[in-house]
Amino acid sequence: MGGGSLEIPLIAANAEEIARMSNVLSVQKRVRPQTQYDSDVFPHDERYRWNLDNMGPIWIPQKDVTVKIDTSNISLYKRIITAYEGNDLKIQGGDIFINGVKTDSYTFQMDYYWMMGDNRHDSLDSRFWGFVPEDHIVGAPRFVWLSLNKEKSFPLNVRLRKMFRSAGQ
């Protein structure tokens, strides 16, 4: 069988276990440094030097909660204010105007969510698009193909009775 490499997300204990296998030459951790800015990563603003491996902290907006806004954090909320909640937003110098009124705060009209994919480096998720408004979430789970108990370690964490079932069962 030919050699090759494989890139998989692992916790430290699993990486150590795999490294001890006789057919594994090496295990290398791939993590981008905190200072490495990725312009594709939300909020697409150099003031937030975030990348796929190092983000945050981040607060997820909630309906009826008011936040202070200024030119240093407006990139976190701009899409919510304009695209999702239908307001006009202008920044002139250091001032923020919403619907023509100068302001330093904003009250969210909806709840928002942070959606994460399960394929860390190959998922296009909230790390790229940002917050997802509640009215954009449609559907319901129909099928459970894997169910894990986070309180246990592998293989005892696999909940066989909950796997490969309709979500309503």
Give the number of residues written for the chain.
169
This model's pTM is above 0.75: no
* pLDDT score of 30: 83
Task: Write out residues in the chain with pLDDT < 70, as ranges.
Answer: 1-3, 168-169
* pLDDT score of 152: 86
* pLDDT score of 83: 97
Give Cα separations from 167 to 144, 151, 155, 156, 163 (angstroms).
6, 21, 22, 22, 9
Measured CA to CA, the distance from residue 10 to residue 82 in angstroms comes to 38
Question: Nearest Cα to 77, choosing from 102, 36, 107, 34?
Answer: 107
- Sorted by where each begins, the domain ranges of the chain are 33-133, 139-169
ω into 141 cis (within 30 of 0):
no
Measured CA to CA, the distance from residue 111 to residue 98 in angstroms comes to 20
* pLDDT score of 1: 47
Q: Tens digits of per-residue pLDDT, 110-135?
A: 999 999 887 777 788 999 999 999 99
Structure tokens at 105: 């705060």
Whether 51 and 32 have beta carbons less than 8 Å apart is answered as yes
